[in-house]
Amino acid sequence: MNWLTRQASDALASLRDPAAHFRYGLVLAVLIAVADRLSKWAILYWVDLPARQKITVTPFFDLTMVWNPGISYGLLPANSTWSVAILVIFALVVTAALTVWLARIENRLLAAGVAMVIGGAVGNAYDRVVYGAVADFVSLHAFGFYWYVFNVADVAIVVGVVLLIWDAVFGPEAREERARRQSPGTDNDQ
């Protein structure tokens, strides 16, 4: 077996290696949490957006300081120390469950999706612990329509969920299930 064949064989073997996907996922989750933290540090302390409140960057993009005490779209606002603690505990439980799932994943796309949700959840949980609310600052708008104000962690969570849905519909297990259902000699009534 020559070097190139061995490398190709090792690469193919790693495609279904949960340990490799776990390491990849942990690195990606940490990178996302760090990117979220750095972006918020820049907005809060370098740009000093809380003092400026709004900076128009383009006709469709503003930096706007919003402290979100709840979850997405301001749902379930945390108006007390207890409600903040409950949201933080919930985020930590979800993160722990996703980390256990990440350790068992056998494909990289699914690992990326789970890792993005973990990294985003950690980034927003950090804000809740330190500030009591999540720092949001990206405001996109066009033709009088304003999308909700968000941050890097929110983007990671949304993209991660999209990857999870994509994997559920088009991923290897979904393809195998469709092939199994379409193959002759199988009972399709179950």
The residue among 157, 130, 148, 149 whose CA lies nearest residue 33 is 157
Does residue 29 register a pLDDT over 90?
A: yes
* Residue 152: C-alpha distances to residues 32, 86, 110, 144 (Å): 8, 23, 20, 24
- Residues labelled as active-site residues: 136, 154
| Per-residue confidence (pLDDT) for residue 131, from 0 to 100 | 92
Beta strands (DSSP E) in 29-78 are 54-58, 61-68
The domains of the chain are located at 16-182
| Per-residue confidence (pLDDT) for residue 4, from 0 to 100 | 58
Q: Is 133 helix (H, G, I), strand (E, B) or coil?
A: coil
Does residue 139 register a pLDDT over 90?
A: yes
- Per-residue pLDDT of 100-118, as tens digits, reads 999 999 899 999 999 999 9
- Per-residue pLDDT of 159-182, as tens digits, reads 999 999 999 998 888 778 887 888
